[in-house]
Amino acid sequence: MNSLFYVGMVVLLALLPPELSARQLDEPVGQYTLDCNDTFACPDSLLPRVSFWIEVFSRWETDTAIFHDKDNPQRVFSTVKREQGCQRTRRGDIIERERERLQKALRTTADRIRKDRSLSANQRYLRSLFIGESTSEIRAAAKRLRCQSGNRDRMLQALKQFQLYRPTILDALESQNLTPELQYLPFVESAFNPQALSHLGAAGLWQIMPSTGRSLGLVVNSVVDQRYDPTLATYAAAKYFRDSVDKLSSEAFDVGAEVSARELNPFVITSYNYGVRGMQNAIRQVGLSYERLLREYKSPNFQTAVKNFYASFLAARHVAKNAEQFFGDVQPDRSQRIHSFNTVSLKRATSTKRISTELDLDIDVVKQLNPSLKSVVWKDRALIPEGFQLHLPYREQGWSAQLADVYSLPREIERPGFVWHRVRRGQTACQIAESYRASCSALRKLNRLNRKATIYAGQRLKVPTRNGGITVASVPSSTASSQAGIVTYTVKRGESACIIANRNDMRCNEFLAINGLRRDSVLQIGQRVSIKVTEAWHTVRRGQTACQIAESYRVSCRELLAANQLTKASTILIGQRLRIPSRS
């Protein structure tokens, strides 16, 4: 019975669904004739590599994992149909098992050929991929296995978007006197998805890193990220290419190379992945020869992804130029088209909710027109900053009158939604979160901690609170002193707006908003200003207890505990901020 059971299990394993089985190629990777002119060099030695990438873009879908030789990409050993492509989901999954199977098969094939033994069908297939190669090369290929997911479906969607963004890209490239052929690079970078974000932090249509974006003049901060604006990002990318062309041309002249667009552009394209400085170093080592670059240039960071970058660009360019051959008639996807719009410069920080409500606009339309505003703004946890160039649906008469009404409303105040905590020796992230009654996962996400939530003594952490978001400031008036929570204060010698705010447990921006002041406003001695005492905040100092703090503010201990969701048994920490309820 036991033996029958095990035989049955073997049969079941043999009948696993097709997505969990590997297969050889029915047809080998094809050979393609590229349209290479005076703009780009297409060395013969590069053509097999380009052919492989053409098939990645046009033959295999994203649910196909392709196992190939990283040094000779066109040498494909097997494919696996799997929804996640090459992404490994767990230890010992089909991707890991197929890699181990191929490694063993390559070594076994090499040994059997060397010993002149008969080969199985699979071994004969592997040998056919190494015509004219030694058995040692077959064994070496076992260490060069690489998995690449297909891209056909993403390429089709990218072709639909490409037709919409193409006019803007061509204008930007022309403004920097660059070849229009660079328009095909986003196929490789983002598949023309303006919301794309890589695991390394590169974002937008052109996959620009934060520091690079800032150096190109883009605003990248906690509220605005212009890398996600296709137009601004495109003009920034054009500036990058202009700088790359100029610097690499100068470097090539310095080493005595004859500079032509055909020889220079492969280095310009590669610099977008490897950096201009890296390509300058490469030119100093190998001159202006892309074939020598691939063959001879040595650097720790010059690895497979960089070596494939120019080849994948040429492949995407070929597929895009011959889209009908590969995909038939491709119609543009106009669902994400760029609308005509008015641009207004905000005179005051304002919430998206107020803009959509007061101007009677669909919030989704406003969001589509302003892709550089981050999610924290759309979730009403941060304001659109003053001076932001806001795009609104086009109106011939503009929006001046409606915006004047918006500016006449009470100012909105942005509360951060977190408090700062200085880590002490022995504390963990989750212990800190628990002491503030906050979510550990929210704390980890807010501080961009790794999976282990590693922290160190002395580090400042943001601890999420429930009071973040946007509130409307109270409006000062002649009766301010009698309003609940608003009192009048007389400015003394040496006091500034932020000094007064801090002394009264207010945020400086809140004080400025209540009094209609700016950061550069000068207060006069004797000037009467309004301060807010409703729900003041207190930062806990050494030795203080909750009830002592309540007594100092002339509120009951019970009210203070309730306002902060504490009990008499709760522990408060040095540096913790407590909400002080208004006095009855």
Helix ranges restricted to H, 297-453: 304-321, 323-327, 352-358, 363-369, 375-378, 400-408, 429-435, 440-446
For the record, the structure tokens of 224 come out as: 């605005």
- Pairing, β 76-81 against β 145-149: unpaired
Asked if residues 375 and 198 have their Cβ atoms less than 8 Å apart, the reply is no
In a domain, 288, yes or no: yes
Task: Check which CATH number belongs to the domain holding 288 and give it.
Answer: 1.10.530.10
CA 129 to chain centre: 39
- pLDDT of the residue at 541: 80
For the record, the structure tokens of 290 come out as: 């892309």
Distance of CA 355 to CAs 223, 348, 379, 398, 486, Å? 16, 12, 13, 14, 27
- pLDDT of the residue at 11: 37
Question: Among 327, 357, 386, which residue terminates a domain?
Answer: 327
Backbone torsions φ then ψ of 151, nearest 5 degrees: -145, 10
Asked if residues 71 and 326 have their Cβ atoms less than 8 Å apart, the reply is no
| Domain co-membership, 196 together with 277 | yes
| Domain co-membership, 234 together with 343 | no
- pLDDT of the residue at 500: 85
Residues 313, 168: Cα–Cα separation, whole Å: 20
* Cβ neighbourhood burial of 72 (10 Å; 0-12, 13-18, 19+): middle
Question: Among 299, 327, 355, which residue terminates a domain?
Answer: 327
Per-residue pLDDT of the chain (584 residues; tens, 9 = 90+): 444 433 343 333 333 444 446 788 878 888 898 888 788 888 888 999 999 999 999 999 999 999 999 999 999 999 999 998 998 888 888 999 999 999 999 999 999 999 999 999 999 999 999 999 999 999 999 999 999 999 999 999 999 999 999 999 999 999 999 999 999 999 999 999 999 999 889 999 999 999 999 999 999 998 999 999 999 999 999 999 999 999 999 999 999 888 899 999 999 999 999 999 999 999 999 999 999 999 899 888 898 889 999 999 999 999 999 999 999 999 887 776 766 899 999 999 999 999 999 999 999 999 999 999 999 899 888 899 999 999 999 999 999 999 998 888 888 887 777 778 889 998 999 999 888 888 899 889 888 888 888 999 889 888 887 766 777 765 443 333 334 356 667 788 878 888 888 777 677 877 877 777 777 777 877 787 877 655 567 778 888 888 888 877 777 888 888 888 788 888 888 878 887 776 54
Return the closest-CA partner of residue 452 out of 430, 469, 434, 432.
430
Structural domain containing residue 546? 535-584
- pLDDT of the residue at 166: 94
| Domain co-membership, 391 together with 289 | no
For the record, the structure tokens of 419 come out as: 């408090």
Task: Check which CATH number belongs to the domain holding 564 and give it.
Answer: 3.10.350.10
Amino acid at 137: E
- Pairing, β 460-464 against β 389-393: unpaired
| Domain co-membership, 315 together with 347 | no
In a domain, 254, yes or no: yes
| Domain co-membership, 163 together with 306 | yes
Residues 316, 163: Cα–Cα separation, whole Å: 15
- Pairing, β 577-580 against β 536-539: antiparallel
Return the closest-CA partner of residue 369 out of 391, 399, 386.
391
Residues 79, 405: Cα–Cα separation, whole Å: 62
| Domain co-membership, 298 together with 377 | no
In a domain, 497, yes or no: no
For the record, the structure tokens of 313 come out as: 């660009």
- pLDDT of the residue at 336: 65
Helix axis angle, 261-274 to 276-286, nearest 10°: 130
| Domain co-membership, 218 together with 297 | yes
The structure's pTM equals: 0.73
* Cβ neighbourhood burial of 400 (10 Å; 0-12, 13-18, 19+): exposed
Asked if residues 423 and 470 have their Cβ atoms less than 8 Å apart, the reply is no
Question: Among 348, 375, 409, which residue terminates a domain?
Answer: 409
- pLDDT of the residue at 1: 43
316-321-326-331 Cα dihedral, nearest 10 degrees: 110
Distance of CA 539 to CAs 198, 229, 263, Å? 39, 40, 63
| Domain co-membership, 558 together with 578 | yes
| Domain co-membership, 195 together with 289 | yes
In a domain, 174, yes or no: yes
In a domain, 80, yes or no: no
Q: Is 200 helix (H, G, I), strand (E, B) or coil?
A: coil
- Pairing, β 460-464 against β 418-422: antiparallel
In a domain, 305, yes or no: yes
Distance of CA 22 to CAs 14, 19, 131, 142, Å? 12, 8, 23, 17
Residues 330, 295: Cα–Cα separation, whole Å: 38
| CA distance from start to end of the chain | 82
Amino acid at 27: E
In a domain, 559, yes or no: yes
H/E segment holding residue 390: strand 389-393
Residue-wise DSSP of 289-331: -HHHHHHH---TT--HHHHHHHHHHHHHHHHHHTHHHHHSSPP
| Domain co-membership, 164 together with 288 | yes
| Domain co-membership, 301 together with 355 | no
Asked if residues 322 and 58 have their Cβ atoms less than 8 Å apart, the reply is no
Backbone torsions φ then ψ of 208, nearest 5 degrees: -90, 135
- Count up the domains in the chain and report the number: 3
In a domain, 40, yes or no: no
Partners of residue 384 on adjacent β-strands: 350
| Domain co-membership, 276 together with 348 | no
- pLDDT of the residue at 72: 92
Contacts of 555 (CB under 8 A, 6+ apart): 580, 581, 583
